[in-house]
Every structure is written in structure tokens, then in C-alpha cells.
Amino acid sequence: MSDDLDEFDVYLNHLAQELGHANRHAGLKGYCSGLVMPLSRKSVEPMAAHIDPLHASAKHQSLHHFVAKAEWSDKAIMQRVREWVMPALGAHAAEEAGYYWIIDDTGFPKKGRHSVGVARQYCGQLGKSV
């Protein structure tokens, strides 16, 4: 398990190189750590409470700032992800042969019946829109 955590930290450091200001690194690490935690809700409030229960309000504010207000490029981060993943997949050869890597992030059904401002969305795990 420790080796997995070390590799995850190395991966996050790889991504963080694209964020510019060093203050954004903690936001990236906190947010990504929250996404892989076994939480029923993946919004910043429960993540913050789980990551730093004694300072949940401050952690919530910093995670929210990172996600909603900090200036960083999602395209640049995705490029860093590709740089990390494609060599491990041997994807250069696959790309030349016409193969593609597809990520389906629709696998989790939403909780509850109402989500303010959110339209019905397809859920791959359920095979329908919810």
C-alpha cells in the first residue's frame, strides 16, 4: 500500500508541474486524494471533512478555491496525464494503428432525486439517464 501511495504522490507531482504557482499544488493533491477516497459524495465539502476533520471549513474553502477559482488549464493538465499514461500503455504504437483509449466517467449514479441546475445525465453503470 505504501508503494501505491508513493507512486500516487509521484503522479500528482508530475501533474502539479503544470499548475504554475506552488500554492495550487496542495489544492491538486487534496482534490485528487478526495476523488480516490471511498466517499459516497465526491463534492469538496465531504472531501474536506474526510481529509482534515479538525479544519474542515478551511480545507473546504481551499479545495473550492482550487476547483472553482484558481487559474490553471484543464487542457494542460490533461496533456500531463497523457504524458504519464501513454508510454505505460504503449499507446504511441496503438495511436499510429488507429486504436484509442476511452475513459467512461459516467459510472456512478447520482444520489437523490434532485440536483439543482443539473440536467439528467447518462450513467454507464445503470445503462440509462438518471
**DSSP reduced 3-state for 122:** strand
105, burial (CB in 10 Å: exposed 0-12, middle 13-18, buried 19+) = exposed
pTM of the complete model: 0.69
Alpha carbon dihedral 58, 62, 68, 70, in 10-degree steps, equals 150
Higher-scoring residue by pLDDT: 42, 101 = 42
What digits encode the pLDDT tens for the residues 13-56? 999 988 877 778 888 999 999 988 888 888 889 999 999 999 99
Q: Would you give the DSSP letter of residue 68?
A: I
- For the chain, what are the domain ranges? 2-72, 106-130
